Structure 1
Amino acid sequence: MRRHLPLILFLSIATTAFSQKKSDLIAEIESLKTKISEVEQDLAKAKREISSANAKAETLDTENAGLRDANATLLGNLSNFSELSKQNSENVNKAMAALARKEKQLSGVNDMISANDSTAIVSLTRIKQTLGENANVAVGEGVISISNSLNNLFGSDTSSKLTEEGKAWLANVSKVIKANPNFKAEVEGLNMTGEFGPTYDQAAAVAKELVETLEIPATRIAITAKDGNFKEGINIKLQPDYKGFYAKAKESAKASQ
């Protein structure tokens, strides 16, 4: 028994030591398992984060692609808008230039109309100075109308022979016509009966006196006979040379183009 005691003691110590090492190993294994579990959890978390980051990256790439397309479209639209704006600006400039030309044309025509009206008004004053304040003179739409009765001119409403009083009156009228070389003269006969033959003869007698005796160019005298609408007499109308007026207006329009 004593002889086996050391062996038993050794075995006991060895068993205790082995048991202790086994326990330590188990503890280390458990610790390693814990660490492995933590590492696996960290790895899984890292994978999730990487997956989320990849998803976000893909989303950002998609959004960036969309933004690039939108920017390209916007730049194209801006380029088109710039070109359209340039064209519109050119069209506006052309329209404004055309409007300026038209305004210049109208201004020239208005100036000529105003000049004719002003001439008529000024002539009215001079006519009254020549014919007397009691002269029957009117101005309308740039036309000066000098009137006299058939009795004063011919002694009756049926005669076509001028009286001396009528000739004296026409002499003064001829001065007015000569003083306004830019105006045309029209001898207008008016009657109430509708018999235009005698009225025309009376107007012709007045025109003949102006041309042959008072030396007014025949090209400046026109003759008409009209229904006087309950009025009779002779009107001598002085009006602008409309043919020459429109010729000047046409020239003004061409010059302003």
Structure 2
Amino acid sequence: MKKKLPLILFLVIASSAFSQRKSELFAEIDTLKTRISEVEQELAKARREISSANAEAETLKAENITLRDANATLLSNMSNFSELSKQNSDNVDRAMEALARKERQLSGINDMISANDSTAIVSLTRIKQTLGENAKVGVEGGIVVISNSITALFDSDTSSELTEEGKTWLAGVASVIKTNPNFKAEVEGLNITGEYGPTYNQVAAVASALVTTLEVPAESINVTAKDGNFKEGINIKLQPDYKGFYAKAKESTKGN
């Protein structure tokens, strides 16, 4: 019995030590499980944060692409605007140049019109010197009008034979026409009866005397007969050479 007691004691101690060690192992296992759980929770949290960070990164990437595209569009629009602005500026410059040309053209035409008017006024003075201060001479719209009555020229309304007074008057008119080659002459007969035959014969007689007797160029003479609106008589109208005037105006337009 005494020999077995140490063995029993050893077994008891060993059993007690084993039980204690087992309890410690279980405690360590529980601690490890707790740590594993905590680690898994931290890992899950880290994964969530990584996922959120990745989502934010994708969002920022998409926004960056959008901003880059918007910036490219803005630069393109600025380039287009600059080009359009340049084109508009060029168009304005061309319009201003065209306007300046038109102003020069109009200025040239106005100068020619003023020159014609001035010529008519100067001619009026010379015509009065030629025909006498009592001559019926006036200017209407740049046209010099020399007038005389039917009685003074033909004695009667139906006659087409010039009187001596009429011939003298026509000689002065012929001198005026020939000394003003820049004007075209028109013999105008005014009628108040509505019977234009005698009036036309009188106008023709005046024109014939100017051309055949007084040697006025035929191309410088036109003849008309019309209603005088309660006035009758013969008018010699000296008007600018409108054909030449428009030719000069056309050349002025081309030159500018």
**Above 0.5 in TM-score?**
yes
Name whichever of 194-203 and 44-53 sits farther off. Answer: 194-203
User: 2:158, 2:88 → 1: CA distance?
Assistant: 72
* Paired position in structure 2 for 1:48: 48
User: 2:187, 2:169 → 1: CA distance?
Assistant: 14
Return the letter of the residue paired with 1:33: K
* Paired position in structure 2 for 1:201: 201
Cα distance, 1:46 vs structure 2: 1.3
- Helix, strand or coil for the counterpart of 1:112? helix
* Paired position in structure 1 for 2:117: 117
* Paired position in structure 1 for 2:225: 225
Gaps of 5+ in 2: none
Counterpart mapping for 1:123-142 below 5 A: 123-132=123-132, 134-142=134-142
User: 2:38, 2:120 → 1: CA distance?
Assistant: 116
Q: 1:34/1:214 Cα in 2 relative to 1: closer, same or farther (>3 Å)?
A: same
* Paired position in structure 1 for 2:37: 37
Cα distance, 1:177 vs structure 2: 2.4
Size of the aligned set, in residue pairs, is 256
User: 1:125, 1:30 → 2: CA distance?
Assistant: 138
User: 1:238, 1:110 → 2: CA distance?
Assistant: 20
Name whichever of 48-57 and 58-67 sits farther off. Answer: 58-67
Name whichever of 237-246 and 206-215 sits farther off. Answer: 206-215
- Helix, strand or coil for the counterpart of 1:189? strand
Q: 1:33/1:168 Cα in 2 relative to 1: closer, same or farther (>3 Å)?
A: same
Name whichever of 219-228 and 70-79 sits farther off. Answer: 70-79
Q: 1:246/1:4 Cα in 2 relative to 1: closer, same or farther (>3 Å)?
A: same
Counterpart mapping for 1:3-42 below 5 A: 13-42=13-42
- Helix, strand or coil for the counterpart of 2:231? coil
Per-residue CA distance 1:179-231 (angstroms, 9 max, x = gap)? 42211011111122233232223223323343344443222122222222222
Contact 2:157–2:198, Cα closer than 8 Å, also in 1: no
Cα distance, 1:44 vs structure 2: 0.4
Cα distance, 1:254 vs structure 2: 3.0
The Cα RMSD (Å) is 3.6
Name whichever of 87-96 and 197-206 sits farther off. Answer: 87-96
Cα distance, 1:98 vs structure 2: 5.1
Cα distance, 1:143 vs structure 2: 1.9
Name whichever of 198-207 and 92-101 sits farther off. Answer: 92-101
Q: 1:22/1:177 Cα in 2 relative to 1: closer, same or farther (>3 Å)?
A: same
Structure 2 residue 165 is matched with structure 1 residue 162: no
* Paired position in structure 2 for 1:148: 148
Cα distance, 1:128 vs structure 2: 4.1
Return the letter of the residue paired with 2:59: T
Gaps of 5+ in 1: none
Return the letter of the residue paired with 1:220: S
- Helix, strand or coil for the counterpart of 1:188? strand
* Paired position in structure 2 for 1:177: 177
User: 1:244, 1:155 → 2: CA distance?
Assistant: 38
Q: 1:7/1:132 Cα in 2 relative to 1: closer, same or farther (>3 Å)?
A: farther
Structure 2 residue 190 is matched with structure 1 residue 190: yes
Q: Give the structure-2-normalised TM-score.
A: 0.77
Q: 1:137/1:8 Cα in 2 relative to 1: closer, same or farther (>3 Å)?
A: farther
